[in-house]
Each structure stands twice: as C-alpha cells, then as structure tokens.
Amino acid sequence: MFRYVVRRLLQMILVFFGTTFIVYALMFAGRSDPIQALAGERPVSPQVRAQLTEQYHLDDPFFVQYANYMANLLRGDLGTQLSGRSIAGILQQAWPYTIRLAAISIVIVVVFGITAGIIAGIRRGGIFDNGTLALTLLVIGIPVFVLGFFAQYLFGVRWKIFPVTGGAGTFYALLLPAIVLGALSLATAIRLTRTSIAENLRADYVRTARSKGLAGRRVVGVHVLRNSLIPVITFLGVEIGNLMSGAVVTERIFNIPGVGYQLYQGILLQDGPTVVAIVSILVIIYLICNLVVDILYAVLDPRIRYE
C-alpha cells in the first residue's frame, strides 16, 4: 500500500510538469497582445508598449519564458499580473470562495444524490423512481449557464428567497450557486446509484443474505450499498475536480470572486502566468482526488489489493 502511494506520488510530479508545459504553451501560442487589455479599446502608444513588453519579458522566446516561469514557480513565486498584482495574493483571496462553493456542492451531491438514488433503486418502477428519472433527465439536458440564470432570476429576483449574488461568501449566499454548480453531478449521482443498487439487489449474495433471515435494512445498508458505491465513489472523486473548474460559469453568474473568475479573466486578458498557476493547482487537486478514490476502493471492497 505504502509503495503504491509513493509510486503514484512520483507519477504525479511528471503529470504536473507535463500539464504546466502544455497549458503554458497553449497560452503562449494564443497570446497576441496582453498590453491592449490594460487600455480597453483605446490605442496604446508604442513607447508604453515597448516599456511594458520589456518589463514583463513578453518578447523573450517561449523556452526562456517557460524556464523563467518554472524556476520562479519552484521557488514558490507565482509571478505578477500585468496590472502589477501578485498572483499568489490573488489566489490566496480566491481559493477560499471556490473551495467553500465546491464543498457545499459536493455535500449536496453526496447527501441528496445517494439518498435519492437508493430510494429510487429500491422502489424501482415506482412514482419516486419515475419522477427522479424525468427530473434528472431534464437537469442533465439543460446547460449550466441557462440553469444558473434561470435559478438566479426565479429565486433571487422574482421570489427573493436567495441573494442574487454569492459574493458575500456566507453559507446562505453560496447555497443557490452551489446547487446550480452541483445540479449536473447530483443528477448523474442519482442515476448511477439507482442503477447500481437495482442491479445488486438481484445478485446472488443478496438472495443469500435474505434467506439467512437478515433484516431488509441490513441487507441494503451493508451488503448492497457497499458494493453499489464503488462506481459512485469513482464518479464523485473525479467530480470534485470538475466542480472546482466548473465554477468558471457559476461564479461568473453569481458574482463570486473565486478561482473560476480569475481563470476566466486570465484567459480573457491573455494572462499566461495566472492561468497556468490556477490550472496547475486544479491538476494537483484532480490527481489527489484520484489517488484517494483508488485507495477508497480497497476500503469498500476487501478483494481489491495494492501490492
């Protein structure tokens, strides 16, 4: 187990360097004129352009820029934006919002997704099952920005149940954005749990457990659930990363000054260092989540072992 974890961690270093390189290269290739962004649609004088290009090393060749960036990164220096603000400071401010948002989302997904999935799975073909089927299909079909604006208008502007924006950062302010953010995952989690439970309920070991005279609650709660949760856990592990990066759209709609917003701005202003910094952290989160999921397999299913 220990050796397995170490091996995975070493692999992560390689993946980390690979992704930063790719993202940096993409940003570099797509960059035309980040200085223009500082002046809106007004012309920038060639003097100022030359000066800023020099200050931020914008005309150095790709590998020089990348090497400089990585050298600074390894020293813990994420660099500065063209407006002069330190990227580390920006991220420090932004991450708590996104982490909070994603955390609330994932709780909603886990609690409501698995519960509803279990009920639907047990009472297959019932009203609840058909109801959730229709509802989840609907949610999966609607793009998140439509859902976001719709929810914002209905709950925020029309009925005034939730604040329109989540910028305050409180649990209450973030609840609606978190529901919107988690809606797709929630729907998928319900479908996944339901299918998995329904399938396992017909398995031989369930019949055995029932014929042993075990209570229905124990049969479902221990025997079925534990086996049924393996695909769901895999899904949720990947989904944590998705929720953090998926916040780009949700954060914009609900005006939450988190990482998604910074990422969006970074791409818009062609600010390579910010984008690479954020994406690198997202990659690390993905990798760690994946590792945790793989380890969880062994907990859920003792048949799975790591040498």
Partner 1 sequence: MNVRRLAAWIALPAAVALGVSACGGGSDTGGGSTNGGTVSVNLGEPEHLVPSNTVESEGHQVVVSLWTSLVNFDGEGKPVFDQAAAESITSSDNRTWTVKLRDGMTFHNGEKVTADTYINTWNYAAYGPNAQIGTDFFSRIEGYDDLQTGDSPNATPKAKTMSGLKKVSDTEFTVTLSEPFAEWVKVMGYNVFAPLPAAAYAADGTLKPDFENAPIGNGPFKMKGTWNHNQNITVERYQDYSLTKPKVQEINYKIYQSQETAYNDLLAGNLDVQRVIPTSRLASAKNDLGDRFRSTPSSYFGYITVPSYIPAYNKPQIRQAISKAIDRNEIITKIFAGGYVEAKSWVSPVVEGARDDTCGDACVFDPTKAKELWTQAGGVPGNKLPLYYNSDGGHKEWVDAVCNQLNKNLGVQCVPSPVAQFADLRQQARAHTLQGLLRGAWSFDYPSIENYLTPLYATGAASNDSQYSNPTFNQTVQQGDAAPNTAEAIQKYQAAEDILAKDMPTIPMWYRQNNFGFSPNMKTVDLNLFADLDVLTLERN
Residues 179-198 that bind partner 1 (CB under 8 A): none
| Of residues 55 and 68, the one with the C-beta less far from partner 1 | 55
Residues 211-240 that bind partner 1 (CB under 8 A): 221-222, 225-226, 229
- Binding pattern to partner 1, positions 78-97, x when CB under 8 A? -----xxx----x--xx-x-
> Residue 53 interacts with partner 1 (CB under 8 A)?
yes
Instruction: Name which position in 16, 257, 290, 295 contacts partner 1 (CB under 8 A).
Output: 257
Rounded least distance, CB 10 to partner 1, Å: 26
d(CA 79, CA 278): 12
Instruction: Name which position in 8, 167, 214, 294 contacts partner 1 (CB under 8 A).
Output: 167
| Of residues 8 and 167, the one with the C-beta less far from partner 1 | 167
> Residue 265 interacts with partner 1 (CB under 8 A)?
yes
Instruction: Name which position in 1, 15, 51, 215 contacts partner 1 (CB under 8 A).
Output: 51
> Residue 267 interacts with partner 1 (CB under 8 A)?
no
Rounded least distance, CB 292 to partner 1, Å: 10
> Residue 62 interacts with partner 1 (CB under 8 A)?
no
| Of residues 43 and 125, the one with the C-beta less far from partner 1 | 43
> Residue 16 interacts with partner 1 (CB under 8 A)?
no
Instruction: Name which position in 66, 129, 246, 251 contacts partner 1 (CB under 8 A).
Output: 251
Instruction: Name which position in 2, 10, 42, 211 contacts partner 1 (CB under 8 A).
Output: 42
